[in-house]
Amino acid sequence: MHSRYDVRLVFFTPARVAVILTDTKMDDKGAVAVALEKRDAQKPEKKQYDGVMLVFTGVEDRGRVAQGMNQFLLRAEKHVPAFSADWKSRLRWFKTRDNIMGDVKSHEQWYKDLQPYEPLPVATGSSLAAAIAHVDPKASVDIFQIAPCADKDVWDFIDAIPNINVYHLFFGYNSRQGSFELVKDDQDKEELAERQSKFHATLQDHLQAKHPHARVIFTQNVPTFDNAKAGSQDLDWCRQYFPKEDIDMALYDHFWSKRVREANAYADPDLQIEIPDDRDEFLRQVVEARLKPTALRTKILQVVKSALANGELTDLTDKTLRYRLGGILLPEFTGKPHPTLELGDANHMTAVMEYLDHEKAGGSTAGELAPAICHNSDNPKFVPRVEAGTSPTGQGWVLEKCKLDKTRADMEAIFAPHGCKAALGLSK
């Protein structure tokens, strides 16, 4: 007598884990929310990431900044549409041993009254690998760097974490290997500039040495979006998805008052604004000018236009200020108030995730990858550029040709998967 057995092979898909290097600005909060809320493109009944490792870096009080992220997520649970409460079981919290930037960053004041998040273990390659193994020893790992982190830490992470699929770097400020303002000695300046150049140029080599099939994907507002405003989203749109307290914090970002001060220095003397000595008072005035049609709003627009017409600004080696004045401040203060909120990290991480989804499905309507060309800079103030090329360079890839409107729609689908209007309780 013969027995018949029904033998079936069951294949298990490894878990997916995200490692996010963050400093808890507003756009970091949005990016972490995207990673936690995004559903798997092939299995939409489950979240894309089974585990998310947060590494707090690039700030002085990393425990307090971690608490800032924790408080944001608690508030987001009560927002409409509400974020899922399952983040508590999927998140692991870490901090870098040191602050690569060497000083307190301005946004840390948002969290000065919070109790530090403890315990916060030090992020090393081995500690992250152990936490990932707890999720799944065979997990596929995506790393997102949206804050400055020491190269030695990055190399350690890459060497010890298994099965890395992609390393995304939103380059520029996040690429920094120190604060150029704190470096006084010429030799130290030269060493910092060289270190920042090498970080870009060798990141893909370090990654592939341990993970032969992994890719570095660089992004920046241009060329990734070909839109200088890709670092933000409309304030009214942001209010739909993020808690009021976090939006109010982000509005009081010294980025805007600093740029107005810089523009003022290049404006015609007859148009220059009298800026109060009190930094916080001037910030309050600039915030009001962004939100309301104040007299200062008109003056700021005149100052920005005058600065952009100044040949000295055009001749600067560093084009960042001209880019910021023309691409960010000019539209922000032109016409009726239509304020924006910094959301660059969320925009860029969403674009990368959507590109990878479409790539896996075959074909893509979410941008294209071009070979990265990493430039050098001999001035530590200027982070080396990364350009999109046409021939493979071995230095990684640049994501380009993304559409900001599509990225915003993708985020809407992530935050309100059953339909934005329905989730918000609005009529269809």
Q: pLDDT tens digits, residue range 291-326?
A: 999 999 999 999 999 999 998 887 776 677 888 899
Residue pair 263/329 in contact by the 8 Å Cβ criterion: yes
Stretch (H or E) spanning 165: strand 164-170
Q: Which pLDDT band holds residue 420 (cuts at 50, 70, 90)? A: very low
The confidence score (pLDDT) of residue 227 equals 79
Tokens describing residue 6: 């029904």
Q: Which pLDDT band holds residue 4 (cuts at 50, 70, 90)? A: low
Q: Which pLDDT band holds residue 1 (cuts at 50, 70, 90)? A: very low
The confidence score (pLDDT) of residue 363 equals 62
Rounded to whole angstroms, how far apart are CA atoms 318 and 339? Answer: 27
Q: Which residues pair with 397 in a beta bridge?
A: 217, 371
- Given the structure tokens 């010294």, which residue do they identify? 254
Q: Please give the average per-residue pLDDT across 129-138, as a whole number.
A: 98
Does domain 16-226+344-422 bear CATH number 3.90.245?
Answer: yes
Rounded to whole angstroms, how far apart are CA atoms 125 and 210? Answer: 13
Angle at CA of residue 251, ends 77 and 366, nearest 5°: 65
Q: Which pLDDT band holds residue 411 (cuts at 50, 70, 90)? A: very high
The confidence score (pLDDT) of residue 13 equals 86
Residue 9 pLDDT exceeds 80: no
| Radius of gyration in angstroms for the set of CA atoms belonging to the chain, rounded to a whole number | 22
Q: What is the DSSP letter of 169?
A: E
The pTM of the full predicted model, rounded to 2 decimals, is: 0.92
CA atoms within 13 Å, Cβ hemisphere of 254? 11
Residue pair 377/356 in contact by the 8 Å Cβ criterion: no
Q: Which pLDDT band holds residue 422 (cuts at 50, 70, 90)? A: very low
Rounded to whole angstroms, how far apart are CA atoms 25 and 250? Answer: 8
- Return the closest-CA partner of residue 146 out of 387, 376, 327, 346: 346
Q: How many CB atoms lie within 10 A of CB 121?
A: 13
Q: Please give the average per-residue pLDDT across 65-91, as a whole number.
A: 96
Q: Domain extents for the chain?
A: 16-226+344-422, 233-342
% of the chain with per-residue pLDDT over 70: 93
Residue pair 223/367 in contact by the 8 Å Cβ criterion: no
Rounded to whole angstroms, how far apart are CA atoms 396 and 12? Answer: 30
The confidence score (pLDDT) of residue 178 equals 96
